[in-house]
Amino acid sequence: MKKVFLPLLMVSVLAFIPYVGVHYAGLGYLFGVVLPYLAMAVLLGGFLFRMVDWLRRPVPFCIPTTCGQEKSLDWIQQDKLESPSSFLYAAARVLTEVLFFRSLFRNTKAKMHKGPTLAYGSSKWLWLGGLGFHWSLLVIVLRHSRFFLVMVPDSLQLLDEADRFFDITLPAFYLTDALVLATVTFLVLRRLRDSKMQVISLPADFFPLFLIIAIIIAGISMRYVTKVDVMPVKALMLNLVNFGFEPPGEIGTLFYVHLFLVCMLAIYFPFSKLMHSGAIFLSPTRNQCNNSRAKRHSNPWNSAIKFRTYSEYEDDYREKMKKAKLPVDKQ
Amino acid sequence: MSKYTPKSSELKKEFEEKPTILKGDYLDKEWWDIPVEFRDGNWCFPAKPEVVENLGFPNPRKWTATDSDWKLPVGWEKTISEGLKSRLKKYRSLKLFLDSCVRCGACADKCHFFLGTGDPKNMPVVRAELLRSVYRHDFPLVEKILTGFSGSRKLSAEIIKEWHMYFNQCTECRRCSVFCPFGIDTAEITMLARELLNLIGVNNNWILEPVSNCNRTGNHLGIEPHTFVQNIESLAEDIEDLTGVKVEPTFNRKGAEVLFITPSGDVFGDPGVYTMMGYLLLFHHIGLDYTISTYASEGGNFGMFTSNDMMKKLNAKMYHEAKRLGVKWILGGECGHMWRVVHQYMDTMNGPADFLEMPVSPITGTRFTNAASTKMVHIAEFTADLIYHKKLKLDPKRNDHLRTTFHDSCNIARGMGMFDEPRYVLQQVCNTFHEMPDNTIREQTFCCGSGSGLNTEEYMEIRMRGGLPRANAVKHVKEKHQVNSLVTICAIDRASLPTLMNYWVPGVSVYGLHELVGNALVMQGEKKRTEDLRENPMAGFTKGDDDEE
């Protein structure tokens, strides 16, 4: 299983680099200040570039995948979300895709029984796992804002408290930490265990998963095990968000591992499939209205072609047409 | 049964015994290490050199898929690579779909060809990877450092063979796109991949010959104008024999209100001709002022399965003819991919049709605002509106010998979104209707297995495999509700489903929706009806019985 070990090895090597770099070579400034700036620049610049690169390409045709009844006769009920005819509903279609993974919710699993008989069972695990994973990641990222902001707004404070609802460990245990670990494990396991997933998975699919797992483990260890002092961490982060170049204070090496892996993820992001986060908003089969007969969609490069005109046709068939008593334009 | 059709017992045995990833068995190699094998029944005959020449397409030659050397033109690698680059510039869809797949696997078991073959390369995600892997090779930065990291491949003649095989085991049905969280549409990828293959003369005769015919004679079947007229007139005679009513279609008539265009399969093919008889009866019943063109005598568009420009070229005839005849609007017959083209491409490609008027039903006065710009109305919309306004005299009992189910055609379902109109019409013209299981109808409908120009004899094995999911769902309602009639609104379905039914579900016949409308229509001045349009006896209408109500 080279495609599993290669990315595993890559992530292990990556995790080791800051350990050596900071612990032995004393490169705290490089790993704590220079690299984060670089990574942020690559992430933002790269993301923007990819989006612009997509957006500047034309959408020649109106090709929504219609998953519901189109708008037609007054007495036929339109499925406004799955076959939208106005911008608002098309936007809602995309947003429900982004926020709730609506298409994945439809997922089924096909089974071949004797007969042969095919059966399609409901299969919501991927939807549930994917949704749990993405939402946990979002909450975790938002929670991290307490490191970047001097004053944490009430809404984020509330989110943090809600996440600590199960107050069973010290420091208080975050629900999303458990959820993200469980779901990411599920996402890895299904790639290994499902016979179809095994075929379609590439090293590039395992790498970001492993990288995220490593980031989570480093993060959780810092909080619950080695208990890294957060004050210098917050000082460093506040310095960074204020575009300062102060060297970092005394921080545990594990923090550098965590930060370095996050930087690697950020750098990897725009070059990889992780760009699906931006692409989902642009997908022409989802974000277009199904109104192509009511309203003309124009194609900027509509190619000029020469077709066989009626008069050319009639020239070829005139005698036959006259015999068949068909009207002709020229006698 | 031809040599291209395996025995169904053999296929059944294979499904039961052969390990496949569909059944959860693990594959012992990577998909890109599986060799491509052409054998009887799994490849289409390539286009004849004269057909290719006639179209002005590149690389006309004699070759077959089983040859080891496909005689690709000099510099074909460059043609493909530049062809891909230019299409990436022209289609945001292509670029996005190649870039954004996360290989989540939601599409994997949604393809009818995967379900019928168990072949890993028929999972939509892998079908796209066939092209994606070559696309990635153009961005070899990461790949140079880490071989195999993102699965890129250098273009080779072997890959062209693989493309030819698997982009012809996709019927552009879009079912995978319904389930994809990013809406990645394999139909789009297949369309553009086939366009690339045509650039180097890797083609399919059953697609290119109809294209060439359509260009020359106006229709796929290559019917010349006099024969076209003769055929419809003979259908009118059949109608007269059967009902005593004389319908009088006109041809190429200037000044008609409506131009009617339907696939040529309805004019020539069995059972399509019965659907044509249904249209003729309907138009006579309501006294529609319409004409049929021998020049724009094809609703279908095999150009769509060839290249974008060819689609546009063949489609251009519709508006050209509508303008010449001075009609007010166009009415379109029952067809699948025809409606994908009409609904999503026609106006963009060949519009605006500002010489036509907003379609208004002359019988009910309904304005078809949903076709305000294209000015082309689907016959199912048109008829549903007539029935809703009680403008048709119908006797659904005349279809009592038929226990029906409805097959949603892929393009009508997922490329247009018309689900309820045909169901409404069907339920008004016949008394027995049962839906197939939920995951096999409406937007989740399964393809007939022969769409997108694959409805050819020598491809029978793949067609019967690809049609299995559809056939299976029909079998379900046949056993549960004694369904004996599969009703559809697509000419390719009407041509291909009878074979599929014979193979997997004997005892089920295939009907066009308007054939059933034709059966049920009570015509003014008709003689006593005892047989349907196929001259099959109708239930409860025995000869001699009095059936006045």
From the list A130, A276, A294, the residue facing B371 with the nearest CB is: A294
Min Cα distance B180 → chain A (Å) is: 6
Band (pLDDT 50/70/90 cuts) for residue A313 is: very high
The number of residues making up chain B comes to 549
Q: Is B156 left (phi over 0), alpha (psi -120 to 50) or beta?
A: beta
Interchain contact B34–A (C-beta under 8 A): no
What Å distances lie between residue A270 and A47, A238, B100, B190, CA to CA?
A: 5, 25, 11, 26
Strand B509-512 versus strand B404-407 pairing type: unpaired
Span A14-32, mean pLDDT?
Answer: 93
What Å distances lie between residue B172 and A245, B169, B343, B430, CA to CA?
A: 56, 9, 16, 31
pLDDT of amino acid B151: 85
CA A145 to centroid of chain Cα atoms: 21
The amino acid at residue B491 is A
Domain presence at residue A328: no
Asked if A286's CB is within 8 angstroms of B15's CB, the reply is no
Asked if A279's CB is within 8 angstroms of B96's CB, the reply is yes
pLDDT of amino acid B141: 61
pLDDT of amino acid B547: 47
Asked if B229's CB is within 8 angstroms of A326's CB, the reply is yes
Residues with Cβ within 8 Å of B354's Cβ and at least 6 positions away in sequence, in order, are: none
Q: What is the pLDDT of residues A40-74, one digit of tens each?
A: 999 999 999 999 999 999 999 999 999 999 999 99
The amino acid at residue B508 is V
Span B410-423, mean pLDDT?
Answer: 97
Structure tokens at B479: 């056993």
Min Cα distance A297 → chain B (Å) is: 5
Asked if A65's CB is within 8 angstroms of B178's CB, the reply is yes
Q: How many CB atoms lie within 10 A of CB A92?
A: 14
Burial letters B279-316, b for 16+ CB under 10 A, else e: bbbbbbbbebebbbbbbbbbbbbbbbbbbbbbbbbbbb
A72 CB neighbours in chain B (<8 A) are 368, 370, 381, 418, 421
CATH 3.30.310 fits B30-42+49-203, yes or no: no
Q: What is the pLDDT of residues B463-499, one digit of tens each?
A: 999 999 999 999 999 999 999 999 999 999 999 999 9
pLDDT of amino acid B544: 61
From the list B343, B419, B472, the residue facing A69 with the nearest CB is: B419
Q: How does the average pLDDT of chain B come out, rounded? A: 95
pLDDT of amino acid B541: 84
Asked if A324's CB is within 8 angstroms of B101's CB, the reply is no
Interchain contact B251–A (C-beta under 8 A): yes
3-class SS of residue B378 = strand
Instruction: Count structural domains, chain A.
Output: 1
Residues with Cβ within 8 Å of A204's Cβ and at least 6 positions away in sequence, in order, are: A7, A272, A273, B149, B150, B151
Whether B97 and B188 have beta carbons less than 8 Å apart is answered as yes
Band (pLDDT 50/70/90 cuts) for residue A173 is: confident
Residues 114-173 of B with CB under 8 A from A: 115, 120, 123, 125-126, 129, 141-142, 146, 148-151
pLDDT of amino acid B145: 64
pLDDT of amino acid B549: 41
Min Cα distance B547 → chain A (Å) is: 34
pLDDT of amino acid A166: 76
Span B162-174, mean pLDDT?
Answer: 97
Domain presence at residue A331: no
pLDDT of amino acid B543: 67
Q: What is the pLDDT of residues A122-154, one digit of tens each?
A: 999 999 999 999 999 999 999 999 899 888 889
Q: Which of A77, A292, A295, A298 to mutate to test the interface with B (most CBs of B within 10 A)?
A: A292
Interchain contact B326–A (C-beta under 8 A): no
Span B102-109, mean pLDDT?
Answer: 96
Partnered with residue B405 across adjacent β-strands are B486
A114 CB neighbours in chain B (<8 A) are 16
B441 CB neighbours in chain A (<8 A) are none
Asked if A298's CB is within 8 angstroms of B348's CB, the reply is yes
From the list B182, B252, B345, the residue facing A327 with the nearest CB is: B252
Span A8-34, mean pLDDT?
Answer: 94
Nearest residue in chain B measured CA to CA from A116: B12
From the list B123, B342, B443, the residue facing A67 with the nearest CB is: B443
Span A265-287, mean pLDDT?
Answer: 96
Span B107-121, mean pLDDT?
Answer: 96
| pLDDT cut 70: percent of chain A above it | 99
Domain presence at residue A329: no
Span B510-525, mean pLDDT?
Answer: 97
Interchain contact B345–A (C-beta under 8 A): yes
pLDDT of amino acid B149: 84
Q: CATH number of the domain that A143 lies in?
A: 1.20.950.20
Interchain contact B323–A (C-beta under 8 A): no
Q: What is the pLDDT of residues B254-293, one digit of tens each?
A: 999 999 999 999 999 899 999 999 999 999 999 999 999 9
Q: Which of B144, B344, B356, B504 to mutate to test the interface with A (most CBs of A within 10 A)?
A: B344
Q: What is the pLDDT of residues B315-366, one digit of tens each?
A: 999 999 999 999 999 999 999 999 999 999 999 999 999 999 999 999 999 9
pLDDT of amino acid A228: 87
- Rounded to two decimals, what is the model's pTM? 0.95
Q: Which of A14, A54, A73 to mutate to test the interface with B (most CBs of B within 10 A)?
A: A73
Separation of alpha carbons B190 and B363, rounded Å:
42
Range of the domain at A239: 2-323
Partnered with residue B537 across adjacent β-strands are B531
Asked if A108's CB is within 8 angstroms of B439's CB, the reply is yes
Q: What is the pLDDT of residues B4-34, one digit of tens each?
A: 999 989 999 999 999 999 999 999 899 999 9
B543 versus A175: which is more confidently predicted?
A: A175
Span B232-253, mean pLDDT?
Answer: 96
Q: Where are the domains of chain B?
A: 30-42+49-203, 211-520
Interchain contact B24–A (C-beta under 8 A): yes
Asked if A282's CB is within 8 angstroms of B92's CB, the reply is yes
Separation of alpha carbons B286 and A15, rounded Å:
77
Q: What is the ipTM of this complex?
A: 0.95
Interchain contact B469–A (C-beta under 8 A): yes
pLDDT surpassing 50 at residue B79: yes
